[in-house]
Structure 1
Amino acid sequence: MSELHDLTALETAEAIRLRETSPTEVVRHALDRAERLGPQVGAFVTLTPERALAEAAEAERVLAAADDPRSLPPLLGVPCPVKDLTMVAGVRFTAGSALLADNVADVDDGVVTLLARAGTVMLGKTTTPELGLPCYTEPDGTPPARTPWDTTRTAGGSSGGAAAAVAARIVPVAHGNDGGGSIRIPASACGLVGLKPSRGLVSPGPWGTDGAGLASHGVLTRDVRDTAALLDVLAHPWPGDMVEARRPAGGFLAALDARPRRLRVGLLTTPLITSDADVHPACVAAALRTADDLASLGHDVVEAPVPFAAEAWDAFAALWSVMALQVPVPPQAEGMLRPLTRWLRENGRRVTGVEHADAVVAHQRLVRAVGQAWEDLDVVLTPTLAQPPVRPDALRDDADPAADFAAQTRFTPWTSVWNLTGRPAVSLPVAELDVDGTTLPIGVQLGGRLGHDAELLTLALQLEEIHRWQDRRPPLA
């Protein structure tokens, strides 16, 4: 058998079912790597070794009592940490903010309940930036998240700690969420698969709400089958859901066995949300090469039109700043927040009720414009990011939060469109780039039709079979 940390989530679960290893052995191995490698890549804000070992022992009791291995939870004994924007009862819940350093959650969020039912072991909470707002992960009081390919460079955000943990092979899979690219950005920076599911597919219930409908829970993985398996776990409705997306009858993992139909793919390398993004030639080249790959697989590749003017995206900025303002912060504690957070909240205060209503309408008009422009396309292919993983000072600017926010939009000129439209999108690590003797991952993004997540994953699997990215190993892994 391969080293435990080289196994995917499905391979780990299978090894446990076959008694080739035990949940306790798997969890102890992951905890050891978390303690050794976690600080180097800023993966964790909180480790929970006692809880993890207790859950592993319970998994062993379940395994011993099972008459039929097919009756076992599908991911029994698989370590899966939870992003620190999500509640785990009895565990510190800081949301990446020094203001909440001592906060402890009272309940489990729904996705945590579902992960537990599937048999996963909660190893700890992964690092996130304050309130999950920026596309880099640099929280106060916690090591920043760094890509294991080059620890001088960002792991992206806001699921940066989750991506660093998976890329460093501490765990095979990690929970994340995505409100503007927060799964796909770190997936690209860390050489992983990262899917933002369709709106309504993964419920925020029973405690969370949809709000503006921008965010979705998901996972960071090293391969497409793990992503599909975890989507089968998380795509569970809760009473009172506002939206419910389609789910394939046999599940997402089983859907990967179907032969993909011939798809019409639109290639777009023009930045969408800003006109001044400096797109690295390697990012464009990765998208062009992927277009060639898809054509060789029998798909029709055409040029995708730009669906809206860059200024139409301003609705997202207004909604984002109001969302930042919604977090309850005592007036006397506002100064404890990061400069970017304070700037966003101040912007939110300036948005009147009518302006917010106008932003909601503008959001809906943008969705219609995208739908009309891409009506005859099954999939849209873009670079995931405008640059390979960058050093943090290329984005973070505490002295000028407005410049910070602008730099983030230039770095991520495609990702948030899929949050606004609610459509599924996945980042895939198709390429690598040598920068001064260091190999860095380059991701491309495939976005699909609303509710066609299974089709998108099937297409992603075709590319995985060509590139075999799951076999690549960063230096710190």
Structure 2
Amino acid sequence: MAELHDLTALELAAAIRSGQTSPTEVLDHTLDRMAALGETVGAFITRTPDLAREQAVAAQSLLAASSDDPGTLPPLLGVPCPIKDLNLVAGVPTSFGSAALAGYVPDVDDGVVIRLREAGTVMVGKTNTPEIGLPSYTQPDIAPPARTPWDLTRSAGGSSGGAAAAVASRIVPIAQGSDGGGSIRIPAAACGLVGLKPSRGRISTGPYGVPGPGLGTNGVLTRDVRDTAAALDVLAVGWPGDTCSLPSPDGGFLAACEAEPGALRIGVLTQPIIAPDAPVHAEAIRAVDHAVRVLEGLGHHVDPAPVPFPAEKWEPFRDLWSVLAASAPIPPEREHLLVPLSRWMRERGRAVSGVTYANAVNAGQQLTRDAARAWAEFDVILMPSLAQPAELLGTSRNDDDPAADFEAQMAFTPWTSTWNIIGAPAISVPLHWAPAEPDGPVLPFGVMLGARTGREDLLLALAATIERAEPWLDRRPPTG
């Protein structure tokens, strides 16, 4: 058997069920790697070895009790899976990446935490995130920055940066994340991982959360497509009171990975959407060219796709994002502890009137129709995940000028938030690898595939065929 940390989540679960290893042995190995690598890549804000030990022992007992019928075991029994520090875990400090919320300990689990626990995963810690998940980098004041293990001078992206750093450095095979404007796909691209933003309504915000404007969704970061699909099968189970739900495909999402998607009509878009003048790195373009060659070789029809709407029509997203920032429950007496970007966004959000906010929601819904018309002839849209390689630490964060900070983030991520606005699924896969500059280290350049709402099965089937055509699992970063 390969080293435990080289196994995917599904491979690790299979090794545990077969008796090749045990949940406690896996946990010991994971804790050792957390100690050796966690600080280096800035993966964790909080570690939970005692809770993890309790869950691993329970998994071991369940395994023994089910020895006569292993088919009844949870699908990810004994697999370590940390939780992003924006999500609640009962009894575990949750800071939301902010000094202003330090000391908060929830008494309930978020729904996705419950689902992952029901699936048998072991919660080894809370992963690093920027303050209240706002920026596309993970450089909070309360923890070291999250770094991509492909080049420790570069950011792991955000806001699920710690989750990506933990998976890419092979501390864990899977980590929970969330995505409100690209926060799963951005770190997936920066760290050479698979990152799926599911459709609006695919993963419930219940039993305690509400969907709000519907920009954000939960998900996972993994090293391969099948793990992502297996996690979606776990997470796409609703809660009472859901106002929006989507039917799962026959057989589930993992089974979809084995399906042939057929000859698809794929539109290619390399022009930035929300920041038309943003420079796009040559290797980001080559990543798309690489994907086109693979897709054509698989029998798909590839043609140019239009920009779905003018950049100015994206502007209401600023109002939605600012109001979300202003809605974060920060105690007034601790507001001064926020980083400048958060304070600036909250001030901006407080100035948004009710009518302006309602108009922003309506504008987002109109963009959904605009994009559907613009891309009606295509099954899938292909684009770069990011305009540039993983950023050098400190490139975007600008405490002296938060407005410039926000603009820099837009230029870095000029495609990702479109999929949050229109509510459709999009997946970043690590197909292309190259130095960002002569004599520099080899870095991942992700490509993003998007489909119509509810068609995660199509995206997973297509991504799985790409992975089989050009596997990436054996690529190892220098750190990890």
Q: TM class, shorter-chain normalised?
A: over 0.9
- Aligned 1:200-215 pairs, distance under 5 A: 200-215=201-216
Structure 1 residue 249 displacement after superposition: 2.0
Residue of structure 2 aligned with 1:459, choices 421, 445, 462:
462
Structure 1 residue 375 displacement after superposition: 1.1
- Aligned 1:248-287 pairs, distance under 5 A: 248-287=249-288
Q: Distance in 2 between matches of 1:254 and 1:196?
A: 19
Residue of structure 2 aligned with 1:469, choices 469, 472, 477:
472
Give the 3-state SS of the residue equivalent to 1:279 in structure 2: coil
Structure 1 residue 329 displacement after superposition: 2.1
- Aligned 1:113-152 pairs, distance under 5 A: 113-152=114-153
Per-residue displacement from partner, 1:9-47 (whole Å, max 9, x unpaired)?
000000000100000000110011011100000000000
CA contact (8 A) 1:274 1:311 kept: no
CA contact (8 A) 1:75 1:118 kept: yes
Q: Distance in 1 between matches of 2:247 and 2:267?
A: 23
Q: Which residue of 1 aligns with 2:33?
A: 33
Q: Distance in 1 between matches of 2:384 and 2:321?
A: 23
In the alignment, structure 1 residue 43 sits paired with structure 2 residue 43:
yes
TM-score, normalization: structure 1? 0.99
Q: Which residue of 2 aligns with 1:445?
A: 448
Q: Which residue of 2 aligns with 1:6?
A: 6
Letter in 1 for 2:61: R
Q: Which residue of 1 aligns with 2:77?
A: 76
In the alignment, structure 1 residue 305 sits paired with structure 2 residue 313:
no
Give the 3-state SS of the residue equivalent to 2:46 in structure 1: strand
Per-residue displacement from partner, 1:173-206 (whole Å, max 9, x unpaired)?
0000000000000000000000001111111100
- Aligned 1:69-468 pairs, distance under 5 A: 69-434=70-435, 435=437, 436-468=439-471
CA contact (8 A) 2:308 2:371 kept: yes
Letter in 1 for 2:166: A
Q: Distance in 2 between matches of 1:156 and 1:86?
A: 18
Per-residue displacement from partner, 1:84-112 (whole Å, max 9, x unpaired)?
00000000111100111111111000001
Structure 1 residue 276 displacement after superposition: 1.9
Per-residue displacement from partner, 1:25-74 (whole Å, max 9, x unpaired)?
00110011011100000000000001111111111100000021111111
Q: Distance in 2 between matches of 1:422 and 1:197?
A: 8
Q: Which residue of 1 aligns with 2:18?
A: 18
Q: Which residue of 2 aligns with 1:56?
A: 56
Q: Distance in 2 between matches of 1:410 and 1:111?
A: 31
Q: Distance in 2 between matches of 1:475 and 1:442?
A: 16
Q: Distance in 2 between matches of 1:375 and 1:393?
A: 40
Letter in 1 for 2:297: S
Letter in 1 for 2:15: A
Q: Distance in 1 between matches of 2:465 and 2:26?
A: 30
Give the 3-state SS of the residue equivalent to 1:357 in structure 2: helix
CA contact (8 A) 1:34 1:170 kept: yes
Give the 3-state SS of the residue equivalent to 1:470 in structure 2: coil
Q: Distance in 2 between matches of 1:72 and 1:138?
A: 39
Is 229-238 or 239-248 further displaced after alignment? 239-248
CA contact (8 A) 1:163 1:187 kept: yes
Structure 1 residue 393 displacement after superposition: 2.2
TM-score, normalization: structure 2? 0.98
Q: Distance in 2 between matches of 1:393 and 1:162?
A: 19
Is 233-242 or 408-417 further displaced after alignment? 233-242
CA contact (8 A) 1:176 1:217 kept: yes
Give the 3-state SS of the residue equivalent to 1:136 in structure 2: coil
Structural RMSD (CA)? 0.8
Unaligned runs of 5+ in 2: none
Q: Distance in 1 between matches of 2:448 and 2:257?
A: 19
Q: Distance in 2 between matches of 1:410 and 1:259?
A: 35
CA contact (8 A) 2:101 2:330 kept: no
Q: Distance in 1 between matches of 2:372 and 2:94?
A: 38
Q: Distance in 2 between matches of 1:16 and 1:330?
A: 45
Structure 1 residue 331 displacement after superposition: 2.6
Letter in 1 for 2:473: Q
Q: Distance in 1 between matches of 2:385 and 2:153?
A: 21
Q: Distance in 2 between matches of 1:77 and 1:341?
A: 37
Give the 3-state SS of the residue equivalent to 1:394 in structure 2: coil
Give the 3-state SS of the residue equivalent to 1:328 in structure 2: coil
Letter in 1 for 2:466: L
Q: What percentage of residue pairs aligned between the two structures are identical?
A: 60
CA contact (8 A) 1:286 1:443 kept: yes
Q: Distance in 1 between matches of 2:343 and 2:397?
A: 14
Letter in 2 for 1:198: S
